[in-house]
Structure 1
Amino acid sequence: HLVFFSLDGDDGQETYVYYTTKRNYFASQADCRSRDGELASVKDGLDSSKITSVAESWQSTAWIGLQTDQWEWSDGSTTSFRYWLSFPPASGGCVTVSMPNQGFWVSSDCNNKATFVCGGGE
């Protein structure tokens, strides 16, 4: 299963795809890249709320493109926006959007399986 949705951004239309298939962080990132995308970069509250509104019906967790040891998005961009359930997050983990926790970000073991959100690409 997958769900397409778009956001209006400063640089045009940002397309995201939510995948309900559960994979670890690395397999999720590889899947996004095979489609010329990246795991989603959440630049601000609007991005966060749009991603949450689409994914919340599955009441799951979904990988986004942030690792807590790098503090930059998988596409190489940075942002000061943060939406942590608890701060500071555990270092050395990967980040999920937690639907059971109103879309707050949670640091998770990168080998755990979760749904995922890709940004850009096909």
Structure 2
Amino acid sequence: MTYIVTDNCIKCKYTDCVEVCPVDCFYEGENMLVIHPDECIDCGVCEPECPAEAIKPDTEPGLESWLKLNTEYASVWPNITVKKDQMADAEKFDGEPGKLEKYFSAEPGTGDE
């Protein structure tokens, strides 16, 4: 098992989770974070830290495509280990359905710069 980041992170990108991760397995895209499934140690400390409730165990049904997305982008986006401000309109976009199709960006974030 591993934890993965799902669609509610898109356009919110709270980073409370990255500060508590003991293995620094979060990677930053332009408008969301992902978890590297091979680096995650399944400790679960990140899940309750996410205000958007976007972090889920990959054992939940229907998350196969999110496991694939996390795996793919964790290999190309920069590592992030330090908390940053959430996106400007995070509260507006929190809970909006269909965020992957509407807003996902494959562009990398800045990581710990």
TM-score (norm 1): 0.30
**When you count helix as a share of all residues, which structure comes out higher?**
2
**When you count strand as a share of all residues, which structure comes out higher?**
1
TM-score (norm 2): 0.31
> Relative contact order, CA 8 A, sep 6+: which one is greater?
2
